A = this chain, B = another copy of it.
Amino acid sequence: MKMHQVLIDQLVATWHQTIPLSQFMQVNVVSFALTHDTHINASSSNALLSSDQLITTAPLSPNINLHNTMFAGSIYTLMTLTGWGMVWLQQKLAAVEGDIVLADAHIKYHAPVRTQPIAKVIWPDTSLTALSQGRRVKTKLSVELWCDDLLCATFEGLYASLPVQVK
């Protein structure tokens, strides 16, 4: 499991400094690493570059509802940020720049969230190189929310990476 601590710290700082809600929710990164060792099929630097699984979390206390379980809005926001963070990290790894926006999303709530959950997303290997040629890239991401061994919510979001406009 290779980690990218500098990138992770930069992502969390970006969230907390520019999105007040993410700071209030105490959204954080658990890990950003390779899903399977089988992905390591080249040099160790390639293995480092190809990290494809992001796991995030947020504590219950700022995120509860009147049933004392996790609020539906907090669950959605954690999952949205997880997808957004994955696109952000992949852009950094690919050394391309783009503004990341969410176009649409669908969420299903399967069970009440009674313990601190993790949100997990795997990168579908979308190439982001078109960004450097001034073209937008769309990526559909599936995010899962787990509480211990229970799948509590599933989220599908369509993210667009937009070429950064020359000022």
Q: How far is the CB of A112 from chain B (nearest CB, A)?
A: 8
Range, interface on chain A: 35 or more
A106 → chain B closest CB, angstroms = 5
Tell yes or no: A64 within 8 A of B by CB: yes
A142 interfacial by beta-carbon distance below 8 Å: no
- Chain A 79-111, CB-CB to B under 8 Å as 1, else 0, gives 011001000000000000001011111111100
Contacts of A109 in B (CB 8 A): 101-104
Q: Does A10 contact B (CB under 8 A)?
A: no
* Cβ-closest chain B residue relative to A27: B73
Kindly report which residue of chain B lies nearest to residue A108, judged by CB atoms: B104
Q: Which residues on B sit within 8 Å (CB–CB) of A106?
A: 104-107
Contact: A107 with B108, CB < 8 Å?
A: no
Point out the residues of chain B lying under 8 angstroms from A105, CB to CB. Answer: 72, 76, 106-107
Complex contacts, A77 vs chain B, CB 8 Å: 73-74, 76-77
Please tell me which one of the listed residues B19, B64, B74 contacts residue A64 in the complex, with CB atoms under 8 A apart. Answer: B19
